[in-house]
Amino acid sequence: LQWRQVPGAENIEHLKLRLQAGPPTLLLFTEPSEPLPEEPKPVEMPFHHCHRDSLPQQGLTPERLQARRQLYAACAVCFVFMAGEVVGGYLAHSLAIMTDAAHLLADVGSMMGSLFSLWLSTRPATRTMTFGWHRSETLGALASVVSLWMVTGILLYLAFIRLLHSDYHIEGGAMLLTASIAVCANLLMAFVLHQAGPPHSHGSRGAEYAPLEEGPGEPLPLGNTSVRAAFVHVLGDLLQSLGVLAASILIYFKPQYKAADPISTFLFSICALGSTAPTLRDVLRILMEGTPRSVGFEPVRDTLLSVPGVRATHELHLWALTLTYHVASAHLAIDSTADPEAVLAEASSRLYSRFGFSSCTLQVEQYQPEMAQCLRCREPPQA
């Protein structure tokens, strides 16, 4: 006889004494013929029940980690060469060199602001900031552009004063050496900030993404708004440095043409202002909750209408928090025989896969014939 203690049994000692009194005729405790079924283990699902990602990503995304490294390196290079240009411009008495140094100072400030906005964007969402702090990246780019415009306006004024008064002297040799170093510095910063190829997606941004800047020319292959703004700054500074270098060569060999210093400042400052126009346009489009340039209203609407069971769609809104964080919301009017859960899953899947939205909010409701005459259910007119 095998004795096994049963959890929760009462009077165990009394039962032992009765069994020891004589040979048992019945085996009260036997081994089970089959092993007991094991408890089912929780299976980790690839996606959450209502979210594309199983867990929110902590910290910076790989794209923003790369942006932070680029901004750190470019900021260090920019600060070193800015100090050198300040010394060289002072020794050469060149306003053009000081203009270039002032642009580098604006770049340093804008890059530091961009680094701060990248750190701020990693903070989690709160009940007040329900979308998180992603928009801080766009605000950092706006501050960068505005700072460059302010500094350029001051330097344009100084260049105009020099054109009116010729009581200044320029050291051609010091100006030539400093301008040559400035060109090398801007080339190095442009190389550091340049991102080769279109940015690939991570997590919830989908499989494909086209930069917001689209038009007749090729878009800048920059995915992060702050890096893109800094890159445009450096391109403007590089053009100005080339102009200053040409002016320094002319002044070095022909000192009587010292007016080339303020003229180059005037011309290439205007070029620097123009180079920031595309970034400023995209930033203002984001802040005004405009539809992203890479996403069209009609393609999204047609995609939703192509879902089986969807009769109509209204309250369709498309906007962006950053260049790569696109958001969509819409109401879907479905047939009475359609499965709301199936329609919701299919519509969300198509929006994520075809357009790379980071967040989609869809409301499913029964189709009513009155929706065709409802003013609020009509599509917005063309801009």
Question: Are residues 272 and 236 in contact, defined by beta-carbon separation less than 8 angstroms?
Answer: yes
Q: How many whole angstroms separate alpha carbon 17 and alpha carbon 24?
A: 12
The fold of the 297-373 domain, in CATH, is Alpha-Beta Plaits (3.30.70)
pLDDT in tens, 221-278: 334 666 776 777 777 778 778 888 888 899 889 888 888 888 887 887 777 777 778 8
150: left (phi over 0), alpha (psi -120 to 50) or beta: alpha
Read off the pLDDT of residues 331-380 as tens digits, 9 standing for 90 and up: 999 999 999 999 999 999 999 999 999 899 999 999 988 888 888 888 88
**Model confidence, pTM:** 0.66
- The torsion of the CA quartet 86, 88, 89, 94, rounded to 10 degrees, works out to -170
- pLDDT class for 326, splitting at 50, 70, 90? very high
CATH of region 62-197+225-288: 1.20.1510
Residue 89 has pLDDT above 80, yes or no: yes
For residues 348 and 332, give the distance between their C-alpha atoms in angstroms, rounded to a whole number. 11
Q: In the chain, where are the structural domains located?
A: 62-197+225-288, 297-373
